[in-house]
Every structure is written in structure tokens, then in C-alpha cells.
């Protein structure tokens, strides 16, 4: 089965590196035009250069997904630059220190929820405004295996990702007859540059052992799942939390 995205106009948040960039590269390779955002200019410039090297038409803009004005501006500029918007991948997200809930900090809570939850809500809202007028579209949210299970010390992160899962499912039902599909991807631990920078080798081995496949996932593993969801091959799929976690949540 060939997964073609030829002619599709796709917006991806948090696409400067890791999973977001891997998805952008896969989409462009499959024929899509892609708009990307990030909060760091240098990272955004490097990502855009990689997409341009593959080919197609692209757009890039700095955007903080927790800022409603910046989100509205990014979506409006993308629609203008690309002519339409078929698919939105809400990938931007952050983590927080692993500590018991009684030791958590209000600033960490506010940052997590503003990006991981409010950011997804703001981007979904802008997506739905555009897609409702067109009568078609597909929103893909980047949730987590921790939208389905638990991890000691990650209470705030788990709460944010459970909320993304709930928002995905509820909105998919609300818009079931609109021509707009809404799904989420739930990755396990993925071997991204950020993970390598923040977790030592022995820690990464422990994280890998959480998966029955006993390895970390790759950004490309997630990108292939995103490809299927973004393509017409998944046309009867909505409201799904799609696990890409090496069997972790099957335990």
C-alpha cells in the first residue's frame, strides 16, 4: 500500500527537531507541502533547509503555541501561503522534572499545561475554524503512551497527556459528521536528541526496558504512523489514540 500525500497542505507545530521534524520530512517525501513552526529560530532555519532540500513548497514561522495571538497568526499565514490546509499535526510539547506530586512546582505545572494542553486546544480551535469552512480536514494530536498509563514522578505530564487524549476523542465525536477526522498518536519513549541530552545511557536502557520490544522507538517509527493517519488509507478512522510504544501499554 502506497501512502501518498501528494498535493496535501500540512501544518506541524514543534517541528524544529525530533519527532516533528521526522514527520515533516516524511510528509514532504510523500509529496505534501508543509508549514512548520518552532520557538527557536536557529532550529527552525535548520529544519526548513532540510525540507527545502527534499523539494516542494514550504513555510516556516516562529510560534509559541501557548500564545493565542501567535497561533492565530501562524494558522492565518499558513493558509495564505499554502492556499489551503488539509492536515494539522499538533506536535509541540514539553516535559517536566520527575518528582512525586507533593514536590511539584507551580511554575512547572503552568508551563506544562500551557504548552501541552492549552497549546493543543488553541491549535485545534484554529484548525476547526479553517476546516469547517472547507468541510474536510484531519487533525492529529501528539499524545503519549502516558495518555494511557502511568510513570512514577510524571504526574503533571501524565495529566496533560491524558487531557490531550480526552480532548481528541471528545472533539472527534463532536465533529463526526463534518468531514473532519481527529486522532492522536501515543508514542512510547522515543530516541530523540532531547532524550539523549537529558537521559544518560543507563537511563535510556531502563526506559527501553519498559517496552516489551526492549528498545527505544525512533522518530521515524512515529512518522510512519503519522503518515498512515494523514493519508486517505485511514479515511474511516477518527477518535483513535494510536499507540506507537513497542507494546508498553499492552502490558
DSSP state of 181: E
C-alpha distances out from residue 223 to 97, 102, 179, Å:
26, 36, 24
Q: 206 exposed, middle or buried (CB, 10 Å; 0-12, 13-18, 19+)?
A: exposed
Q: Which grid coordinates belong to 127?
A: 484548525
Which residues are the active-site residues? 157
Question: How far apart (Å, rounded) are the C-alpha atoms in residues 35 and 240?
Answer: 24
Give the span between the Cα atoms of 5 and 153, in whole angstroms.
39
Q: DSSP assignment, residue 147?
A: G
Q: How many CA atoms lie within 13 A of 4 on its CB side?
A: 3
Amino acid at each position: 500500500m502506497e501512502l501518498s500525500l501528494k498535493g496535501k497542505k500540512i501544518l506541524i507545530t514543534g517541528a524544529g527537531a525530533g519527532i516533528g521534524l521526522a514527520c515533516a520530512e516524511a510528509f514532504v517525501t510523500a509529496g505534501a507541502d508543509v508549514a512548520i513552526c518552532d520557538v527557536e529560530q536557529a532550529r527552525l532555519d535548520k529544519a526548513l533547509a532540510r525540507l527545502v532540500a527534499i523539494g516542494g513548497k514550504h513555510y516556516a514561522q516562529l510560534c509559541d503555541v501557548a500564545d493565542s495571538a501567535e497561533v492565530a497568526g501562524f494558522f492565518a499565514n499558513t493558509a495564505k501561503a499554502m492556499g489551503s490546509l488539509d492536515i494539522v499535526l499538533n506536535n509541540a510539547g514539553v516535559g517536566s522534572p520527575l518528582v512525586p506530586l507533593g514536590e511539584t512546582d507551580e511554575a512547572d505545572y503552568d508551563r506544562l499545561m500551557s504548552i501541552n494542553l492549552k497549546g493543543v486546544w488553541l491549535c485545534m480551535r484554529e484548525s476547526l475554524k479553517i476546516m469547517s469552512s472547507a468541510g474536510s480536514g484531519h487533525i492529529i494530536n501528539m499524545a503519549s503512551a502516558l495518555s494511557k498509563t502511568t510513570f512514577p514522578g510524571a504526574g503533571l505530564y501524565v495529566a496533560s497527556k491524558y487531557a490531550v487524549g480526552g480532548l481528541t476523542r471528545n472533539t472527534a465525536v463532536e465533529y463526526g459528521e463534518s468531514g473532519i477526522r481527529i486522532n492522536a498518536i501515543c508514542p512510547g519513549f522515543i530516541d530523540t536528541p532531547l532524550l539523549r541530552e537529558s537521559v544518560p545511557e543507563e537511563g535510556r536502557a531502563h526506559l527501553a526496558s519498559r517496552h516489551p520490544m526492549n528498545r527505544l522507538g525512533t522518530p521515524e517509527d512515529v512518522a510512519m504512523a503519522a503518515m498512515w493517519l494523514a493519508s486517505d488509507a485511514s479515511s474511516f478512522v477518527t477518535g483513535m489514540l494510536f499507540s506507537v510504544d513497542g507494546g508498553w501499554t499492552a502490558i
